[in-house]
């Protein structure tokens, strides 16, 4: 059994009920649903309360920073104390589409790092075209970040993998590690006890399903690719990532 540590179960067009109904048949022990704004986070809390093997994070994704209010931050703070909330996320910086709101993104990011500290929760980091600023903020606030925390959907190089590892983060890979253009040269240098697998579904379907809607069950394809890179038995690798997930998400019951 495997754990999908990052799935958007409430995204538009996702057949949430079907995914949950098939979890065990698909070999999924747990799914961690991810919050991206206040509404999404509230929905995740309600879903996790209803479904035994679904846990959730709460947080505001950087793409929503411009519209985020003080009340939104207060809402995330309130939701963070709810049962089955296992992390604050996904939070971070994203300069891919917007660069004129960098200071607002940083403000929202830092506010949520502080919320995570107040609730003794790890953080799940999204960074896109913003690795330098993301690293500088995480380094500056390292003393209050709950360890271990997660670099989600890692797509940087070994230089930054090492920097984030040194700050106490786990490195999580999604389907993009299976793509031909993905840099896989450094993966074996990541300690096995610091690696996680995820789908980021319904996005980033792994090969050979690229271009289709992703689902949590496809996390096994990413795990197989990583096991191959480590040149190790799949079942052993699956167990390692499962144990790592429980080590990060301490509120998640075995």
Identify the CATH number of the domain in which residue 212 sits.
3.20.20.140
Residues 6+ apart with CB under 8 A from 208: none
How many domains are there within the chain?
Answer: 1
Residues 6+ apart with CB under 8 A from 249: 5, 32, 55, 86, 87, 122
For residue 179, is it within any domain? yes
Domain that holds residue 61: 2-248
Q: Is the pTM of this model over 0.85?
A: yes
| Residue 249 in tokens | 């998400």
Task: Tell me the CA end-to-end span of the chain in Å, nearest whole number.
Answer: 12
d(CA 79, CA 23): 26
| C-alpha closest to that of 125 among 2, 40, 5 | 5
For residue 208, is it within any domain? yes
For residue 60, is it within any domain? yes
**Contact, 33 vs 47, CB < 8 A?**
yes
With tokens 């929905």, the residue in question is 43
For residue 43, is it within any domain? yes
For residue 10, is it within any domain? yes
Per-residue pLDDT of the chain (254 residues; tens, 9 = 90+): 999 999 999 999 999 999 999 999 999 999 999 999 999 999 999 999 999 999 999 999 999 999 999 999 999 999 999 999 999 999 999 999 989 999 999 999 999 999 999 999 999 999 999 999 999 999 999 999 999 999 999 999 999 999 999 999 999 999 999 999 888 999 999 999 999 999 999 999 999 999 999 999 999 999 999 999 999 999 999 999 999 999 999 999 99
For residue 254, is it within any domain? no
For residue 253, is it within any domain? no
For residue 231, is it within any domain? yes
| Residue 213 in tokens | 């809607």
């Amino acid at each position: 059994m495997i754990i999908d540590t990052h799935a958007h179960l409430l995204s538009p067009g996702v057949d949430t009920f079907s995914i949950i109904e098939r979890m065990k048949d698909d070999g999924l022990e747990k799914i961690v649903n991810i919050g991206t704004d206040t509404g999404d986070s509230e929905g995740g809390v309600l879903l996790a309360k209803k479904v035994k093997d679904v846990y959730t994070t709460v947080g505001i994704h950087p793409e929503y920073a411009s519209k985020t209010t003080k009340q939104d931050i207060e809402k995330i703070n309130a939701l963070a104390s709810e049962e089955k909330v296992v992390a604050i996320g996904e939070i971070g910086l994203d300069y891919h589409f917007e660069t004129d709101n960098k200071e607002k993104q940083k403000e929202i990011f830092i506010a949520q790092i502080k919320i995570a500290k107040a609730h003794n929760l790890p953080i799940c980091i999204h960074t896109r075209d913003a690795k330098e600023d993301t690293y500088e903020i995480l380094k500056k606030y390292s003393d209050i970040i709950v360890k271990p925390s997660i670099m989600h959907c890692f797509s940087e190089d070994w230089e930054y993998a090492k920097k984030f590892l040194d700050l106490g983060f786990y490195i999580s890979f999604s389907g993009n590690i299976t793509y031909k253009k993905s840099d896989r040269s450094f993966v074996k240098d990541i300690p096995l006890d610091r690696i996680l697998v995820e789908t980021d579904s319904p996005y980033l379907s792994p090969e050979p399903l690229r271009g289709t809607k992703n689902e949590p069950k496809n996390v096994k394809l990413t795990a197989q690719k990583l096991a191959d890179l480590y040149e190790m038995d799949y079942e052993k690798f699956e167990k390692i990532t499962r144990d790592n997930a429980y080590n990060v998400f301490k509120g998640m019951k075995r």
